[in-house]
Amino acid sequence: MSAFLGIHDGHNASAALVRNGRLELALQEERLSRVKNQGDAPSGAVSIAWRMASGDVDKVALNGLYMNYGQWRRDTIVADYEASSTLLSRCKQYLKKTAADRAYQRWKTRSRSRALSHIGIEPDETVTVEHHLAHAAAAYYTAPWGSSRSNERALVFTCDGSGDRLSATVSIGRRGSLERIAETSEHDSIGRLYALVTRQMAMAPLEHEYKVMGLAPYGSGACVAKKLIDLFEFAPNGMTWRRKSGVPSMYSAYDLVRRLLSSERFDSAAAGVQKFIEHMLTEWVRNAIRETGIGKIACSGGVFMNVKANLAVLELPEVEEMFVFPSCGDESNSIGAACLLAAQAGETIQALGPIYFGGPITEAEAESALAAAGQRLKISFKNDIERTAAEALASGQIVARVSGAAEFGARALGNRSILARADSLELARALNQTIKRRDFWMPFAPSVLAERAQVYYDKPKPAASPYMMLTFRSRPERRAVFCAAQHPCDFTTRSHEVIEHHNPAYYRLLKEFEARTGEGILLNTSFNLHGEPMVYSAADAVDVFLRSGLQCMALGNWWVEKTA
């Protein structure tokens, strides 16, 4: 028996447990604390992992060579981005190259050690894993082609805002090892530039980039894209990029971004930065494949949460196969760090399957939460809750579903979801206005029976989409039947393909719905209110249900409705 505990103790903190080469737990602290993007030492998630391992852990892996505690809150992040162009900030950047910076990093290391000690993790028990190596390890070792022990090579890309002074890397994975062949400095970060544009548009960096992506199809953005592309140049081999002469560090570029966008409409700004990121990623991937001759790629890091850019990469003729690690922001680095230590210990890491790694909803927990709500709810126990939910959905009701183990990451995959018919724009509007309260331009996504997926949308090449990390172009003749679960401007859809052995109960709900409507597709969005973490426990579900405009919920085997 071997067990490795991975910890990410920064923005959107998490813990993961890899035992005997199998990922058994991955949990974000925000689900437990109910604070969006909860950072620092993930005490609750670590406690659950420790109990699961019965305290028998070989090694503890930390994401990142150092961690700046207390920097994960939205107001702190916004202040950092807005102050990035001041003289004081530029002086701080200079001091980071001095001995004073090294002393500061030592202080942060001690601070981190103290914080981890408070949750039962002693410094001599830990191994630090460089940030981008953790990203690369998550994607490489869990890739579905299972080549981490074979002689077959894979090209591994990581790209984010910054981590351990880098923003992007290229590695070759072969026979269980990763060899880094290129890296890009954090000062040349395209991820940070996207975040700077996000802030310039009065949204929160490191949180609302997905809103910019959703807004992008409404604008043209060619002029903005050219301005941004002209800030960078690729190295001769094309596997790294750098700022052109005279362009400030991306840590000092807020004023530059403000000037570049000063005369641009908001939709053009969103479209332009999206075109920019797609251009940079596709050129980068194309160049690296040309240099190495490897067409099988695995990707991780927060920039690859951009599903529109992922489609642009997948469409490259040079790409043979593509795997994007699910919810591949920093929250996934607890997984990568644990996988790396397990691989170094000689374990063969199993390919990623279903990612329902959180705690399950038990009947006792559901009954207790419902009893606490008293007479505000009308409840009934159902022997076939999936059929009941499918009947309600077919009749045009919006249904929250809370069942089984919670899914890991940012995407709802059926077990902590709000569901509705995908062919009703009226239901989508009602869902947005009375329940989700999201920005009006943001599209919803579908869950679809995996074997029926290509009835609804085209794929540029075979690529499974069980984790909502890819987007596809809907088929014109089928758009009407899932008009509420695709982007209304460019008709792309961020699909969750439901595989029966991944989630038998949810798969059966979709089959029951298909039997009544002829369509194996539903609108699926996360069960939360805007700005809050996805629900985790039965108590969370009842709380959000009561505070929202929802009228129906399937909680375990209980059918729940609001009383008058």
User: Is residue 92 scored above 60 in pLDDT?
Assistant: no
Q: How many C-beta atoms surround the C-beta of residue 110 within 10 A? A: 11
User: Is residue 146 scored above 70 in pLDDT?
Assistant: no
pLDDT given for residue 374 in this prediction = 86
User: Is residue 88 scored above 70 in pLDDT?
Assistant: no
pLDDT given for residue 433 in this prediction = 87
SS3 labels along 80-126: HHHHHHCHHHHHHHHHCCCHHHHHHHHHHHHHHHHHHHHCCCCHHHE
Q: Which residues contact 218 (CB under 8 A, 6 or more apart)?
A: 267, 270, 271, 441, 489
What's the pLDDT band for 148 if we cut at 50, 70, 90? Answer: low
User: Is residue 474 scored above 80 in pLDDT?
Assistant: yes
- Same fold? 154-324, 363-562: no
Q: Which superfamily does 154-324 belong to?
A: ATPase, nucleotide binding domain (3.30.420.40)
- 3-state class (DSSP) for residue 397: coil
pLDDT given for residue 91 in this prediction = 45
Q: What is the mean pLDDT of residues 153-177?
A: 96
What's the pLDDT band for 94 if we cut at 50, 70, 90? Answer: very low
Domain ranges of the chain: 3-72+99-136+333-344, 154-324, 363-562
d(CA 288, CA 181): 10
SS3 labels along 342-367: HHHCCCCCCCCCCCCCCCECCHHHHH
Q: Which residues contact 107 (CB under 8 A, 6 or more apart)?
A: none
Q: What is the mean pLDDT of residues 377-396?
A: 97
Q: Which residues contact 227 (CB under 8 A, 6 or more apart)?
A: 260, 272
Percent of residues, the chain, with pLDDT higher than 90: 84
CATH 3.90.870.20 fits 363-562, yes or no: yes
Amino acid at 272: G
Question: Tell me: the pLDDT tens digits for 253-302?
Answer: 999 999 999 999 999 999 999 999 999 999 999 999 999 999 999 999 99
- 3-state class (DSSP) for residue 531: coil
Write down the mean pLDDT value for the chain.
93
User: Is residue 150 scored above 90 in pLDDT?
Assistant: no
User: Is residue 36 scored above 70 in pLDDT?
Assistant: yes
Q: What is the mean pLDDT of residues 22-27?
A: 96
Helices 385-394 and 504-517: crossing angle in degrees, nearest 10, is 40
Q: Which residues contact 177 (CB under 8 A, 6 or more apart)?
A: none
> DSSP label at 379?
E
Question: Tell me: the pLDDT tens digits for 336-363?
Answer: 999 999 999 999 999 999 999 999 999 9
- 3-state class (DSSP) for residue 481: helix
pLDDT given for residue 110 in this prediction = 66
Question: Tell me: the pLDDT tens digits for 198-252?
Answer: 999 999 999 999 999 999 999 999 999 999 999 999 999 999 999 999 999 999 9
CATH 3.30.420.40 fits 3-72+99-136+333-344, yes or no: yes
pLDDT given for residue 84 in this prediction = 56
Q: What is the mean pLDDT of residues 535-541?
A: 97
Question: Tell me: the pLDDT tens digits for 98-134?
Answer: 454 555 455 455 678 888 998 988 877 899 999 999 9
Q: Which residues contact 276 (CB under 8 A, 6 or more apart)?
A: 190, 193, 194, 224, 225, 228, 229
Report the predicted TM-score, pTM, of the whole model to 2 decimal places. 0.94
Question: Tell me: the pLDDT tens digits for 482-497?
Answer: 999 999 999 999 999 9
